[in-house]
Structure 1
Amino acid sequence: MLNIKRRHVLGGLALATAAPLWAQTASSAKAEGTGKGRLASKLRIVIPANAGGGWDQTGRALGAALLGSGAADEIEYENKGGKGGTVGLAYYADKYSNDPNTLLMGGMVMVGAVALHKPAVDMSRIQPIARLTSDYLVMVVAASSPIRNVGDLAGRLRANPKEVPIAGGSAGGVDHVFAGVFTRSSRSNLQELVYLPFAGGAEVVQAVLDGKAVVGISGYSEFSAQLASGKLRAIGVSSKRSVFGIPAIRAQGIDADMANWRGVFTGQGVSAARHAEMVEAMKVAITHESWQKTLKQNHWESSWLAGPGFNSFIDLDMTTSQLMVYMLKLKA
């Protein structure tokens, strides 16, 4: 069982399947498995989001890979969206906590939502299996902006944060949390951060192009077309190293990195032996060609992590999110 602990935080911290399906079968995924990593004839994946988003894409891509690698012959999907994944989390914990054949998708967005909403059912009610992907956040400015790098941005934030509005996704989401982490790491006044929340990446792009925001934060895929056309310029990425040819923010002297990661979980009541089998099945599935193709199509980075390291990683993300929710005075 995951035990969320508070700790001191230093510094700042093409969908693989065709159309959305209720179920997939091994024949549709071209099963090639030899029995290694076999889990069951039928598996279920609960996706705590509506169809079409990042968790849905990841869950269905994982399902295809599990079929392709021979872990199962059929996969059922259940979408239960709402409140950053906390509705689906509660549904899963209530209905499938002891089910050894039902998986749950989750990730950084769920961690942030738990910190914000403080639901009765939190992530202590599930067991982490593995982190699968990371979608790093890119900071962009308009092509004509005088800001050339994150050092320039940090300087402007220290001088007058109210004149540096930052556009990103929904209030309290991963973009907002990272904006707070970056501001704090820049030694600027976090209470004066001006954050403009938008429903999608297209609106973030437009806010930067129209001059309503000085900086935009989102995943690389949301900005790729405008970066290629030269309308936007990337000044940093929230990874620990350069990605997409964009220099890491940390490498530029600002102590801030964060990933919009996605992973897979099982129920609190699932045995240690079954949990170990699930980890091995995931290791096999992520080598399947369908999974590798999905990573490439969606500009996702493979970021496998399992075991105690994954538990500690979630603990730190939870502490960071709780800190930002408190310091930014965010309300559900």
Structure 2
Amino acid sequence: MKKTAYAVAFATLFVSGGAFAQMDELKIMAPAGPGGGWDQTARTIQSTLQAEDLVSNIQVENVPGAGGTIGLQQFVNRSSGDPSATIVGGYVMVGAIIANEAPVTLEDVTPIARLTGEYLAVVVPADSEIQDAQDLAEALRADPGAVTWAGGSAGGVDHIAVGMFAQAAGVDPELINYIPYSGGGEALAAILGNQVTAGISGYGEFAPQIEAGALRVIGITAPERQPYADAPTFVEQGLDVDVQNWRMIAGAPGISDEEREKLTGTIRTMAQSDTWKKELEARGWVNTYLDGEEFAAYLDRQVEQTSAILKELGISQ
């Protein structure tokens, strides 16, 4: 695979840290509706930067649709050369770009850092007859189309995880009845309203309803149990579903090396703060911080691997 432009850029001069001037302004685009993981990530960045006095003025904007690709295209078209413009994204966006054959890709922005990782949870309403992963697998084998799934955008990590569950249950992933939602709030309403059989998203998005007893966790997509979740894994229930969502922040295209380095220094300092670490713990997000050339190379690998997975699952051609 050809090395991308941003990987080449990061191979040049890059600061490793140290003192830097406070940024006057930061604009963060969350390319999804309110309530979802990207919105939560953007607003957690906002609150942490403010609490740590790293940026004077911070604004968050929501632009939902098509797995983040609508927001991504807007961001690229209007933010070129703007050192104060950023966008959050992640694994969902990688898949959506491929599945939707989006006109812009992550090569069109300036990746700054991978921030967090999060395992996914499959939940059902508390009064559902489905009690565990084997019950869900049996229902799927009996009638794949009758089992409806609420999750994030088509081709995203939620969709991929459902396809992996179907494969593990011995069902053709192309037969799954997956309903994509542009925001976590909409998907949650569908689950709580018994409009779908099950829902899938990051554990943190469901945590309040799980704790309140409105939702029951069927399983999480981790290789082993997690300290923040009193929930079984699919692996321990005999279904090989192991996938982690990750989220990042990127800058605008066309910014200088110095502007990129200043933004990276700000984000790195934020990620090292106690405020950020407490937020991660509270939300069940795993610290997977990575920046610089290593993050650029990681993105290259993720694009290549996700393209192969989507073809295997029949989500893209």
In the superposition, the TM-score normalised over structure 1's length comes to 0.71
Partner Cα distance (1:78, 1:141) in 2: 31
Question: Do structure 1's residue 43 and structure 2's residue 28 form an aligned pair?
Answer: no
Give 1:136 shift. Answer: 2.5
- Give the alignment partner of residue 144 of structure 2, picking from 159, 162, 173: 162
Asked whether the equivalents of residues 204 and 217 of structure 1 are also in contact (C-alpha less than 8 Å), the reply is no
How many residues get paired? 296
Partner Cα distance (1:114, 1:128) in 2: 15
Partner Cα distance (2:127, 2:65) in 1: 39
Identify the residue that residue 118 of structure 1 maps to in structure 2. 101
Partner Cα distance (1:37, 1:67) in 2: 18
Asked whether the equivalents of residues 38 and 72 of structure 1 are also in contact (C-alpha less than 8 Å), the reply is no
Give 1:283 shift. Answer: 2.3
Partner Cα distance (2:116, 2:21) in 1: 22
Residues 147-175 of structure 1 show CA distances to partners (whole Å, capped at 9, x for unaligned) of 66545655665x54527614222551432
Report the secondary structure of 1:47's partner residue.
Answer: strand
AA matched with 2:4: N
Give 1:258 shift. Answer: 2.6
Identify the residue that residue 79 of structure 2 maps to in structure 1. 96
- Give the alignment partner of residue 47 of structure 2, picking from 64, 70, 76: 64
Identify the residue that residue 188 of structure 2 maps to in structure 1. 201
Identify the residue that residue 280 of structure 1 maps to in structure 2. 265
C-alpha root-mean-square deviation of aligned residues, in Å? 3.7
**Change in CA separation of 1:39 and 1:197 when aligned onto 2, cut-off 3 Å:** same
Question: Do structure 1's residue 139 and structure 2's residue 126 form an aligned pair?
Answer: no
Asked whether the equivalents of residues 37 and 281 of structure 1 are also in contact (C-alpha less than 8 Å), the reply is no
In the superposition, the TM-score normalised over structure 2's length comes to 0.74
**Change in CA separation of 1:98 and 1:241 when aligned onto 2, cut-off 3 Å:** farther
Partner Cα distance (1:160, 1:51) in 2: 34
**Change in CA separation of 1:196 and 1:48 when aligned onto 2, cut-off 3 Å:** closer
Q: Which range moves more in the overlay, 110-119 or 219-228?
A: 219-228
Report the secondary structure of 2:201's partner residue.
Answer: strand
Unmatched segments (≥5 aa) in structure 2: 6-16
Give 1:115 shift. Answer: 1.9
Please state which structure has a larger fraction of its residues in helix: 2
**Change in CA separation of 1:194 and 1:87 when aligned onto 2, cut-off 3 Å:** closer
Give 1:117 shift. Answer: 1.8
**Change in CA separation of 1:201 and 1:144 when aligned onto 2, cut-off 3 Å:** closer
Residues 42-99 of structure 1 show CA distances to partners (whole Å, capped at 9, x for unaligned) of 2322314366333233223213323443433333444444333222222322333333
Asked whether the equivalents of residues 28 and 61 of structure 2 are also in contact (C-alpha less than 8 Å), the reply is yes
Question: Do structure 1's residue 191 and structure 2's residue 178 form an aligned pair?
Answer: no
Partner Cα distance (1:126, 1:280) in 2: 18
Asked whether the equivalents of residues 86 and 114 of structure 1 are also in contact (C-alpha less than 8 Å), the reply is yes
Report the secondary structure of 1:120's partner residue.
Answer: coil
Identify the residue that residue 18 of structure 1 maps to in structure 2. none
Identify the residue that residue 303 of structure 1 maps to in structure 2. 288
- Give the alignment partner of residue 276 of structure 2, picking from 272, 285, 291: 291
AA matched with 1:94: N
Asked whether the equivalents of residues 234 and 246 of structure 1 are also in contact (C-alpha less than 8 Å), the reply is yes
AA matched with 1:124: E
Unmatched segments (≥5 aa) in structure 1: 5-34
**Change in CA separation of 1:2 and 1:188 when aligned onto 2, cut-off 3 Å:** same
**Change in CA separation of 1:324 and 1:103 when aligned onto 2, cut-off 3 Å:** same
AA matched with 1:314: L
Give 1:276 shift. Answer: 4.0
